[in-house]
Structure 1
Amino acid sequence: MNVTVWNENRHEQKNPEVRSIYPDGIHGTIAGFLEEMGHRVQTATLDEPEHGLTDDVLRSTEVLIWWGHLAHEEVDSVIVEKVKNRVLDGMGLIVLHSGHFSKIFKSLMGTGCDLKWREADEKERLWVVEPSHPIVDGIGEYIELEKEEMYGEHFDIPAPDELVFMSWFEGGEVFRSGCTYKRGSGKVFYFRPGHETYPTYHNKDIQKVIGNAVRWAAPADREKPVYGNAQPLEKITVK
């Protein structure tokens, strides 16, 4: 699979704690374990020309992974529209953690995508609520993270096509943490965990979920649907 991992890469530059957890950037860590799974992976970051998402990069990308937080508004809306069109054409999109507030996710959802949040070093338990789904292949009944940022309901998103994970937090909140959507010919997966000051992306179960999601989100091998005015397939007899 040809995968592009996009990360705004700002926390790693500003916060020594984040840099110590992800010395190659969050994008580098994700790219590393996906390469170990056999994927062809490239990375792209906010401060590269065209945010690293040139026409050639997008054309060759089968699944795009998106992590953003501090700089959603700095992402060029022209690039966002190109990404959206590629998703509608069939490219898979995996949106991680605070990417829920990214321009691309809000555009595809058509809602505000807001939520409650709290940073208090809380335990998170991600319960598998769709055990037959390919995204949870090899995962037990739940994934437990010792410390994570809390996200809580209400999460202002459309009802998911499939709800794969539901999180419970030590402070009592719950959250729809694994949501799938179809948009045009493309598949979208939102996966909640991944706050930058915790080593979440080093967790083997989290890595397995992201790897499974890449395979699930792969474009279908079929011709693009034809739209617009159409000639009849059979002869139309006018009476």
Structure 2
Amino acid sequence: MTSQPLRITIWNEFVHEREDPVVGKLYPDGIHGAIAASLREKLGEAAEVSTATQDQPEHGLSAEKLAATDVLYWWGHAAHNDVSDEVVDRVQQRVLEGMGLVVLHSAHDSKIFKRLLGTRCSLRWREVGERERLWITAPGHPLVSGLPSEYIELPHAEMYGEYFDIPQPDDVIFISWFEGGEVFRSGCTFTRGAGKIFYFRPGHETYPIYYDPNIQQVLANAAMWARPSGVTYVGECRNPQESLSPIEKRD
């Protein structure tokens, strides 16, 4: 029997690309479009990739859309507070049920990431376009499969620095070093309910980071790693700290 394609949704607030000509020129189809194109190329028939943006009804994340999503990518920066709490509740519930979530760059400050982690997720930052080296700290992990070196180097990046106010990750996959001397846990995994979460730091809107082949490889790996595990959770999460219990495993 042929396995079903992995159903991926790329969500983007889609603000910078339409308001800043520099960003619009760099990402003419939106950051979500660039990521979707790279995933389609790398995953081929193994995945069905769609996109959603904040300006759509229900932010493009209706109950039906989320029910048909195995892995959700989330990019946000300028409009975190404009995301409906009802939609955040809906996404949280789906993660607890087993949907994978890939949180990108400045989405560390998104409602959904802070809700799932239960902390401020605050950090230090500096935007000067300095060099970044992301060292692999978990060699052999599926998230770094296919990378040709023990690190990824980006010539221009926004600095994110410690302290990063997150709970202890399940695994730290990358630690970044920046020219200014700071370091940062740039690739972290978490488990909430039956869902896997991967936070991946690179991706500032004014740099062509999502066109970098190594970054694209990590994003493709993330889809396969975060896919639902087969554990089914039932019930409704009524507060950010509530966990749901597994009741069965599917074949």
Q: TM-score, normalised by structure 1?
A: 0.93
Listed as ranges, the gaps of 5+ residues in structure 2 are 1-5, 236-243
What is the CA-CA distance between 1:132 and the residue it aligns to?
1.4
CA distance in 2, matches of 1:202, 1:222: 34
CA distance in 1, matches of 2:94, 2:197: 12
What code does the residue aligned with 1:92 have? Answer: G
Structure 1 counterpart SS, 2:199? strand
What is the CA-CA distance between 1:121 and the residue it aligns to?
1.0
Match of 2:65 among 57, 68, 90: 57
Partner of 1:216: 225
CA distance in 1, matches of 2:33, 2:69: 17
CA distance in 2, matches of 1:223, 1:62: 13
Partner of 1:181: 190
What code does the residue aligned with 2:18 have? Answer: Q
Q: TM-score, normalised by structure 2?
A: 0.89
Partner of 2:133: 125
Within-5 A mapping of 1:144-155: 144-155=153-164
Task: Point out 4+ residue stretches in structure 1 off by more than 6 angstroms.
Answer: 225-228
What code does the residue aligned with 1:118 have? Answer: R
What is the CA-CA distance between 1:225 and the residue it aligns to?
6.8
Match of 1:70 among 78, 84, 88: 78
Partner of 2:152: 143
Match of 2:211 among 179, 183, 202: 202
**CA-to-partner distance for each residue in 1:151-186, whole Å, 9 max, x for gaps?**
000000001110000000011000000000000000
Partner of 2:241: none
Partner of 1:7: 12
RMSD: 1.4
Q: Report the number of matched residues.
A: 229
Identity in percent: 58
What code does the residue aligned with 2:121 have? Answer: C
2:105 matches 1:100: no
**CA-to-partner distance for each residue in 1:68-121, whole Å, 9 max, x for gaps?**
000000000010000000000000000000000000000001000000000111
2:36 matches 1:31: yes
What is the CA-CA distance between 1:138 and the residue it aligns to?
1.1
2:88 matches 1:80: yes
Structure 1 counterpart SS, 2:73? strand
CA distance in 1, matches of 2:205, 2:118: 26
CA distance in 2, matches of 1:125, 1:50: 38
2:98 matches 1:90: yes
**CA-to-partner distance for each residue in 1:42-67, whole Å, 9 max, x for gaps?**
10001100000011110000000000
What code does the residue aligned with 2:25 have? Answer: S
| Rg comparison, structure with higher value | 1
Partner of 1:237: none
CA distance in 2, matches of 1:184, 1:85: 9
Partner of 2:169: 160
Listed as ranges, the gaps of 5+ residues in structure 1 are 231-239
What code does the residue aligned with 1:122 have? Answer: E
| Conservation of the 8 A alpha-carbon contact between 2:97 and 2:234 | no
CA distance in 1, matches of 2:55, 2:68: 21
